[in-house]
Amino acid sequence: MERESSCPSAVLEPISGAEITEIRPSGFVRRRRRGPGSYDRTQSTAARHEEQRLTLLDAAAHVFARHGYANAAVAAILDASGLSRGTFYRHFGDIEAAFCAVQEHAGDVLLERLATAVRLHTEPESQLRAAILAYLEHCAERGDLARVFHGEATAASAPHSAHRRQCIAVVQRSLRAALASAVSSGLIASMPDEATIIGVMTAIEGVALRYLSDHRESELVDALDSLHRLAVRALT
């Protein structure tokens, strides 16, 4: 097994059918190995490097989600991405750096999706429902990325989980701000205590993780009504 060590975002670009060897239920696309000089020559160097990075992140998320950080190898990421060893090391110094990059990418994608969903609503309860839906849809559509962020990133062997903690703190602050707005508007009587806020977030994440662990993420959106009711009852 290859293992080396250190640590220092976005959906994959469309690809042609000729490059695909297998599509997994999680939505992951396994790609054929490209020969030297087979890249799209109409792309700028920066655009090509960004596409390669996103391809490697997607492949690495798939490998970490399936095998765990402790058992992951660079060779497996290369096999899943269809890219060369040299390309991998141009983007990541080692497999630990790749894992950290996947964590950061997962957190950034999730936060952007939640922020976009909340911006479309003005009522606190509508914002809450929209945020829960966006979270469930994210887990359903990006199963491997979510499995790394919610599952593998918490494993004792996994390095550098600070970004995950930072993302959760951002979501907690946003929820508190929405609740404070609801209190000032007279929509709820008082601000829920810290334990209640953490408990609601933990319950929602726990449901998502159970579905992700069972590879049933496609069913997650069906849990929206139950999780929304639970959150409203607990927080209001």
Q: What residue spans define the domains of the chain?
A: 17-98, 100-235
- The CA dihedral of 172, 175, 179, 181, to the nearest 10 degrees, is 120
Residue 184 to residue 86: CA distance in whole angstroms: 56
Residue 155 to residue 149: CA distance in whole angstroms: 10
Domains 17-98 and 100-235 share a fold: no
Residue 21 to residue 90: CA distance in whole angstroms: 24
- pLDDT at position 218 is 95
Low-confidence ranges of the chain (pLDDT < 70): 1-41, 156-159
* Percent helix, strand and coil across the chain, each to the nearest 5: 70, 5, 30
DSSP designation for 157: T
Check if the beta carbon of residue 29 is closer than 8 Å to that of residue 57: no
Residue 112 to residue 126: CA distance in whole angstroms: 18
Check if the beta carbon of residue 7 is closer than 8 Å to that of residue 100: yes
- The CA dihedral of 40, 43, 45, 47, to the nearest 10 degrees, is -110
**Residues 6+ positions from 2 with CB-CB distance below 8 Å:** 73, 74, 75, 95
What number does CATH give the domain 100-235? 1.10.357.10
- pLDDT at position 38 is 53
Residue 125 to residue 46: CA distance in whole angstroms: 42
Own/partner contacts of 205-214, CB < 8 Å, gap of 24 or more, are 205/150, 208/135, 208/136, 208/139, 208/146, 208/150, 209/150, 209/151, 211/139, 212/139, 212/143, 212/146, 212/147, 212/150, 212/151, 213/147, 213/151
- pLDDT at position 156 is 56
Residue 73 to residue 152: CA distance in whole angstroms: 15
Q: Closest Cα to residue 6, out of 71, 89, 106, 82?
A: 89
Q: Which CATH superfamily is domain 17-98 in?
A: Homeodomain-like (1.10.10.60)
